[in-house]
């Protein structure tokens, strides 16, 4: 049904700029199965400009980013899930929610690694999450690492744009020095 809905949007409604985002893809083999299933349903990656992106939200996505980049057109880092799964916590649990920290060294290392892997593979990479709008330092980190895009919730858009503009100025100034 999801494939039929995507086809309707792209083919009948003419919104061919719609991209498909595959969430929580655990293994490369699972990604290949998704791409094959989509093709069987008439959605062939690359055909009529169809791009298929994958959420990078599991440590295995980072470790095997080069392999995932061969079957997907790009990535969107799901920083909340990546943080939870890297640190082994549930941010909604009162027992361990205080340990949730997107700026944890292990999380930052994984984010930087997947950005670099995407760049090396020649695919686009973005991030969806609250941190760049809440924390100017996190925004600077993403810009410095070379992120292509950052998405914001509507209520955080203006603050997020402000943080990104400041981050770009800061990174640009560092490059001049």
pLDDT tens for each residue of 134-168: 888 898 899 999 999 988 777 777 777 887 888 88
Lookup: tokens for 45: 């990656």
Residue 151 lies in a domain: yes
Within a domain: residue 7? Answer: no
Q: Is the pLDDT at 16 greater than 90, yes or no?
A: yes
Which uninterrupted H or E stretch holds 128?
A: strand 124-128
The number of beta carbons lying within 10 Å of the beta carbon of residue 64 is 15
> Is 78 within a domain?
yes
Average confidence score pLDDT of the chain: 92
Q: Are 114 and 127 in contact (CB under 8 A)?
A: no
> In the predicted model, is pLDDT for residue 17 greater than 90?
yes
- Residue 38 · residue 52 · CB < 8 Å: yes
Instruction: Enter the tokens of residue 115.
Output: 């950005």
**pTM flag (> 0.85):** yes
Q: What number is the average pLDDT over the span 101-128?
A: 96
> DSSP 3-state helix, strand, coil percentages of the chain (rounded to 5)?
60, 10, 30
Strand order in the sheet with 52-56: 20-22, 52-56, 74-78, 124-128, 149-151
Show the domain range for 156.
19-176
Distance of CA 173 to the CA centre of its chain: 27
Question: What CATH number has the domain bearing residue 115?
Answer: 3.20.20.60
Q: What's residue 28's pLDDT?
A: 98
11 located within any domain: no
Is residue 76 assigned to a domain? yes
pLDDT digits (tens, 9 = 90+) for 62-85: 999 999 999 999 999 999 999 999
In a domain, 62, yes or no: yes
Q: Report if residue 161 sits inside a domain.
A: yes
pLDDT at 43: 97
List the Cα angle 113/23/27 in 5-degree steps: 65
Domain contains 6: no
Number of domains in the chain: 1
Q: Which residue in 20, 98, 103, 90 sits closest to 55, CA to CA?
A: 20
The pLDDT value recorded for residue 120 is 98
Q: What is the pLDDT of residue 177?
A: 55
Per-residue pLDDT, averaged over 111-140, amounts to 92
- Residue 142, number of CB atoms within 10 A of its CB: 29
The helix/strand/coil state of 26 is coil
């Amino acid at each position: 049904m999801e494939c039929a809905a995507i086809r309707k949007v792209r083919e009948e409604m003419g919104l061919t700029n719609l991209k498909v985002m595959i969430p929580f893809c655990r293994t490369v083999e699972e990604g290949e199965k998704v791409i094959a299933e989509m093709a069987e349903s008439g959605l062939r990656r690359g055909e009529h400009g169809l791009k298929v992106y994958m959420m990078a939200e599991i440590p295995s996505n980072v470790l095997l980013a080069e392999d995932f980049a061969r079957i997907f057109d790009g990535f969107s880092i799901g920083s909340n899930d990546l943080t939870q799964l890297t640190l082994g916590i549930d941010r909604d649990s009162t027992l361990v929610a205080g340990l949730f920290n997107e700026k944890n060294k292990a999380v930052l290392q994984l984010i930087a690694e997947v950005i670099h892997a995407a760049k090396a593979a020649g695919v686009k990479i973005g991030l969806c999450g609250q941190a760049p709008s809440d924390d100017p330092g996190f925004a600077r980190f993403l810009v410095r690492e070379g992120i292509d895009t950052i998405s914001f919730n509507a209520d955080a858009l203006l603050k997020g744009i402000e943080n990104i503009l400041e981050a770009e100025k800061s990174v640009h100034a560092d490059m001049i020095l």
